[in-house]
Amino acid sequence: MFARVPEPGVVKTRLLPTLAAADAARLYGAFTEDLCARLVPHFRLVLACSPAPEHPYFGALARRFGCELTAQGDGDLGARMRRAAGAVLATAPRAVLIGSDAPTVGVEAIRSAFGALRRARVVIGPSVDGGYYLLGVRPPLPPIFARMPWGSARVLARTLAALRRARIAPGVLPCWYDVDTPADVALLRRHLDVLATLGARPCPRTVRVLRRLREVAA
């Protein structure tokens, strides 16, 4: 899982100025902790860290949740994803990459991705914003990490086109969503409210931050 230090003004900047920089950072930190708490009991979780795994924040996460740490390193998102996948595949037959900005992604989605990798060389979880929230790979790594318009709504289409050119048929998971914009936060609120009505509370830290933001706004 890709993770960054929740530093105000550095993470989740597309939520500004709707949210204050400190609140956006606090919300992002809650995403990361909720995902760690949910996934560690079921999977070997490796955090690809930025700026570096030696940062005290990541050390605290590793001690608290029992996850492993590796460096994202330099380069664009594609270079960092390729590096993270290679680091995991050096000691495991399959790797599933996710970001820390999709806090409601469930254990079953990750489990489905690993299952699909028994048949497919690549598995993609499409995101409603035109990118993807999950990428599963097994070696050799596919040619999908270079010359991509990262951060745009064309990433998924360009990735699928690159896979077609390489004659790789991907497994495809159900569509999901990242939380990058104020509209995404509104969707997240509604989703968590519905889950709570159904008796599910997958993101307790995120819920607490959202509740505080609502109280402050009121």
CA-based radius of gyration for the chain: 17
Output the pTM of the full model.
0.94
**How deeply is 35 buried, as exposed, middle or buried, from its count of CB atoms within 10 A (0-12, 13-18, 19+)?**
buried
pLDDT at 214: 84
Q: How far is CA 163 from CA 1, 76, 99, 124, in A?
A: 23, 20, 21, 11
pLDDT at 216: 72
Nearest to 206 by CA among 8, 35, 45, 10: 35
Spans in the chain with pLDDT lower than 70: 217-218
CB 27 within 8 A of CB 209: yes
pLDDT at 190: 97
- 2-217, superfamily in CATH? Spore Coat Polysaccharide Biosynthesis Protein SpsA; Chain A (3.90.550.10)
Q: What would the pLDDT profile of 115-142 be if each residue is shown by its tens digit?
A: 999 999 999 999 999 999 999 999 999 9
pLDDT at 217: 67
pLDDT at 215: 78
